[in-house]
Amino acid sequence: MLKILLLFTYMYVGTSNAILYDCFTGEPVNRTLLRIYQERDAVANCTVEIKPCDPTEWRRVDGSCNNLKYPSRGTQRTPSHRVLPPVFSHDYEPRKAVSGESLPLPRRLRTQLLLVGRTTDMKLTQLFSYYVLFMISDVLSSHDIINYLQNITTCCTPEGQNNYNCIPIKVPVDDPVHRFSGVRCLNLTRPQSFQTFKCLDNGTTFARIVFQTPLFDLSHIYEYRPGFINRLRTFENGLMKIEEEDGELFPPTDPNSNYCYQNQRPKETRCHMYQVNNVLGSNLWIILLYRHHNQIARELYRLNPSWDDERLFYTARDINMAISVQIYFYELLPIIFGKRNMIRDGLIGRGEGFRDLYDETIEPRMSDEYFFGMRWFHMIQKTNMKLYDKDGYYIKTYPMANVTARTGFFAVDNNMQHIIQGSFRQLGGTFDWTVDYDMADRLLGGILFSSDATTSDIKKGRYFGMQSYVNYKEFCTNRKYTSFADLKDSFSEEGLYRLMEAYKDPKDIELMAAMWLEKPVKGGRIPETLYCLLTEQYRRSIKSDRHWYERPNRPHAFTEEQLKAIRKVTIAGMLCAIGDFVTEIQPHAFFGISPSNPLTKCSSSRIGKLDLTPWKECN
């Protein structure tokens, strides 16, 4: 009886039997709530419409119906998980130091704790950082950056001081760089939340809003916004719309878009109509994996001419997603997490077979600590990008900061080709205390005069309400840390000394500041606490995803042979397949070219390429 009553109060939308869900609570919207949202003009921002789930259907593009009990979990605007609850002072302003004073100025902390320079990692290529960026933009939207680049540009003016959404960064007068430039303020806006979009009342606990699906599902390629996928499909043989320019293939363009801030017009006009136009490394892989879809679809059609468009499209997409995750978990992450650590902690399997860790009681969500922790990788980004031609000859060096939000650059002067060649020939930045010049003082190229990724990281951590480093450390190790001396095993002597100079009490230490200096996890290359927080998320990503590619009993699951074929694919094989004019590459392309990892013809069996014959149906 109760159930029937409840059903009647759900808000059915149109005639499609779709139900309206509240993004924040994940519950169906009742009349009372609908009226409130209508009054606030917030229905579109705070709710999501979901057609009834079919347990046997493919992974939906909008992320819905992943969890059959909570169909809206997995869509855009799914609220974040918190490893530790947020802490603030009054009115959701940053927490204070133990002494009651404000925490140190973020820019001062950054200049005190980090060195600025350009270092080279003797092992890893630039491709490594590009792929990391690509994987983060699958789950994280850049709405906060767009907000201060496009919507609220006055944060450093007197007007901005009265704007609640502004949280400008103060630059000390004795700043090592800006005492010469005269800049006293860097632009930044408050992170957007469910409160910003009026989905929660003001004064309730800050809850960050994110516009990507909280799943590794290539939602930055297939477009997470409900219904948008139909604009990308041709509805013929599983293909997506693709355009050619300068001999290269790209996702559809919108020449009138104003999101490619740095396109040099009139020469550069290309700007993705649906995909984000963001930082270079991520944008490069968005273009490449978009192309990959069509390549897979064509081959599937050749093998199975009887398959219809729907089957070709969803199979190609499923393979594309699986490969992107396989490369990330099995090829990239072991380099910095340590393969043994990953096996021990259940992030990867030991053998080639299926794995099933699915737990329907865990909702698909990303943690704020994950998003925040991934910012640590700003430290390894090297920004002087080297371009090479297809025969491996060095052409020139180009500042990466100038290519942010500049999709047009890829489509002229064979730049796409040259960036790809450079990505596996140039070595990347090291994992140390050094941050690259342009990350520290330029970042957004010609869009803003100056900005500092690492200082913004500290400042954002405060507005995300991140707890003290020692609390996270306790979460990770189950031990208490009450004095600086308790931390001595996790830092070098100088590292700890620097933290003691910057903070008066161990409880004051901020998560990011500590991770800049913390020792790497045993057997890996990233800081211990970062390892712990990222692992916490990846475990949830695997357990909560009903469509996780390694599961034997998900809808349309791979066969054993098919999974094996997925596992053979490497980043080198991908570049051979979709990188323009890549004819030779080192087999382990996240590592530099060396005598044990030499340039090898793409046709060699040492290059892990995708073989789709296991998808051929016998008839």
Ligand X SMILES: *[C@@H]1O[C@H](CO)[C@@H](O)[C@H](O)[C@H]1NC(C)=O
Binding site per annotation, positions: 378
Choose between 121 and 268: whose C-beta lies nearer to ligand X. Answer: 268
H helix or E strand, kind and range, residue 143? helix 143-146
| CA geometry: angle 554, 560, 564, nearest 5 deg | 110
293 closest CA partner among 336, 251, 340, 356: 251
Kindly state the smallest distance separating residue 337's Cβ from ligand X, in Å: 35
Cα gap 400→598, rounded to integer Å = 27
Cα gap 51→16, rounded to integer Å = 7
In the complex, residue closest to ligand X by CB? 446
Choose between 25 and 257: whose C-beta lies nearer to ligand X. Answer: 25
- Phi-psi category of residue 413: left, alpha or beta, with phi > 0 → left and psi -120 to 50 → alpha: left
Kindly state the smallest distance separating residue 448's Cβ from ligand X, in Å: 4
Choose between 31 and 340: whose C-beta lies nearer to ligand X. Answer: 31
Kindly state the smallest distance separating residue 246's Cβ from ligand X, in Å: 19
- Encoding tokens for residue 419? 């960036």
Choose between 194 and 491: whose C-beta lies nearer to ligand X. Answer: 194
Kindly state the smallest distance separating residue 6's Cβ from ligand X, in Å: 8
Q: Could you list the residues that contact ligand X (CB under 6 A)?
A: 25, 27, 30, 32-33, 40-42, 44-45, 150-151, 153, 156, 164, 183, 186-187, 197-198, 201-202, 398-399, 402, 445-446, 448-451
**CB neighbour list of residue 292: distance below 8 Å, 6 or more residues apart:** 320, 323, 574, 577, 578
Contact 336, 525 (CB under 8 A): yes
Kindly state the smallest distance separating residue 63's Cβ from ligand X, in Å: 16
Choose between 6 and 68: whose C-beta lies nearer to ligand X. Answer: 6
Kindly state the smallest distance separating residue 465's Cβ from ligand X, in Å: 18
Count CB neighbours of 304 within 10 A: 17
Cα gap 329→509, rounded to integer Å = 31
Contact 104, 463 (CB under 8 A): no
Contact 332, 132 (CB under 8 A): yes
Q: For residue 594, what are the β-bridge partners? A: 597
Kindly state the smallest distance separating residue 256's Cβ from ligand X, in Å: 13
Contacts 24+ apart (CB under 8 A), 528-533: 528/476, 528/490, 529/469, 529/472, 529/473, 529/476, 529/490, 530/373, 530/376, 531/337, 531/341, 532/472, 532/475, 532/476, 533/83, 533/367, 533/369, 533/370, 533/373, 533/472, 533/476
Choose between 400 and 593: whose C-beta lies nearer to ligand X. Answer: 400
Binding-site residue set for heme b = 378
Choose between 428 and 445: whose C-beta lies nearer to ligand X. Answer: 445
575 three-state secondary structure: helix
Choose between 9 and 16: whose C-beta lies nearer to ligand X. Answer: 9
81 closest CA partner among 543, 516, 479: 543
Kindly state the smallest distance separating residue 198's Cβ from ligand X, in Å: 4
Cα gap 426→419, rounded to integer Å = 10
